[in-house]
């Protein structure tokens, strides 16, 4: 049976344009172009970057919590304790991925 991080890597890493890299503090980072979508710390934590309004909404609705080390940033953390959490982490990565695709398209149209 695959580990939690391997299952998340298989799904998120399969999306068009997403690359995986070792994270500087350990774990695995997911990128779209030059933008980090987020990273995993082992099998139990995911950290994801969002604009402030989305970060606040995710925290307010309980889908994520403020970043476990840097709570006053645009980053959120999601602890992974269950299969539901694995699915939620993938959904959070999908949200970040789709927002990054829109941002890329808008930036390319401005050029």
Phi, psi of 66 (to 5 degrees): -55, 150
pLDDT at residue number 22: 86
50 CB neighbour count, 10 Å cutoff: 21
The label of the residue with tokens 């998120």 reads 12
Q: First and final CA of the chain: distance in angstroms?
A: 46
| pLDDT tens track, the chain, 111 positions | 789 999 999 999 999 999 999 887 778 999 998 899 999 998 999 999 999 999 999 999 999 999 998 889 999 999 999 999 999 999 999 999 999 999 888 887 876
Phi, psi of 44 (to 5 degrees): -125, -10
pLDDT at residue number 19: 96
Question: Residue 56: enclosing H or E segment and its boundaries?
Answer: helix 52-60
pLDDT at residue number 61: 97
The label of the residue with tokens 């992974």 reads 80
Tell me the pTM. 0.92
Set out the domains of the chain in order of their start, with CATH numbers: 4-110 (3.90.1150)
For 4, the token pair is 């939690």
């Amino acid at each position: 049976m695959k580990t939690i991080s391997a299952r998340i890597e298989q799904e998120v890493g399969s999306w068009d344009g997403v690359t995986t890299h070792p994270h500087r503090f350990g774990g695995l980072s997911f990128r779209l172009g030059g933008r980090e979508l987020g990273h995993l710390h082992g099998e139990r934590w995911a950290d994801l970057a969002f604009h402030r309004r989305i970060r606040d909404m995710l925290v307010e609705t309980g889908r994520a919590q403020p970043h476990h080390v840097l709570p006053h940033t645009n980053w959120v953390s999601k602890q992974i304790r269950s299969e539901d959490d694995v699915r939620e982490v993938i959904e959070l990565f999908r949200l970040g991925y789709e927002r990054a695709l829109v941002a890329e398209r808008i930036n390319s149209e401005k050029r």
